[in-house]
Amino acid sequence: MADEQNGRFDLFLIGDTGSVATGKPDAVLEMLHSHIQPNHLSAIIFLGDNIYPRGLPPKGHLLRKAAEAILKAHHEALKDYPGKVLFIPGNHDWNKGRKDGYDYILRQEKYLEKLFDGKNIFLPSKGCPGPTEVSINDKLSIVLINTQWWMQKGVRPIGQRYGCRAASEDDFFTILEQILEKNRNKRVVIAGHHPVYSYAIHGGRFKLKHHLFPLTIYDKDAYIPLPIIGSLLPLYRKFIGAEEDMAHPRYRNLRKQMKAIFSRYSNLIYASGHEHNLQYICKNNNHFIISGAGSKLKYVIQEGKYLEFGRKAKGFFKLVFQPDGSVYLSSWVVNHIRKEGELAYEKQIL
**Sign of the dihedral through C-alpha 85, 57, 73, 220:** negative
The yes-or-no verdict on residue 5 having pLDDT over 60 is no
Q: Provide the pLDDT confidence category of residue 3 given band limits of 50, 70 and 90.
A: very low
Contact 280, 271 (CB under 8 A): no
The pLDDT of residue 39 is 82
The pLDDT of residue 202 is 63
The pLDDT of residue 299 is 85
Question: 229 or 193: whose pLDDT is higher?
Answer: 193
The yes-or-no verdict on residue 109 having pLDDT over 50 is yes
Neighbouring CB atoms inside 10 A of 232's CB total 12
What is the C-alpha to C-alpha distance for residues 271 and 320, in angstroms, rounded to an integer? 14
The pLDDT of residue 248 is 79
Give the whole-number percent of the chain exceeding pLDDT 90.
77
Q: Provide the pLDDT confidence category of residue 1 given band limits of 50, 70 and 90.
A: very low
Give CA angle at 269 (342, 206), nearest 5°: 65
Contact 101, 49 (CB under 8 A): no
Q: What is the pLDDT of residues 122-147, one digit of tens each?
A: 999 999 999 999 999 999 999 999 99
The yes-or-no verdict on residue 230 having pLDDT over 80 is no
Element (H, E) at 179: helix 169-182
The yes-or-no verdict on residue 57 having pLDDT over 70 is yes
Q: What is the pLDDT of residues 174-203, one digit of tens each?
A: 999 999 999 999 999 999 999 999 998 766
What is the C-alpha to C-alpha distance for residues 318 and 120, in angstroms, rounded to an integer? 23
Query: Could you state, in order of their start, the residue ranges of all structural domains in the chain?
Result: 2-204+245-348
What is the C-alpha to C-alpha distance for residues 158 and 113, in angstroms, rounded to an integer? 22
Beta-carbon contacts of 252 under 8 Å, excluding residues fewer than 6 positions away, are: 241, 246
CATH class assigned to 2-204+245-348? alpha beta
Please report, as a single letter, which amino acid is at residue 264.
R
Q: What is the mean pLDDT of residues 285-301?
A: 94
DSSP string, 187-204: EEEEE-SS-SS-SSGGGT
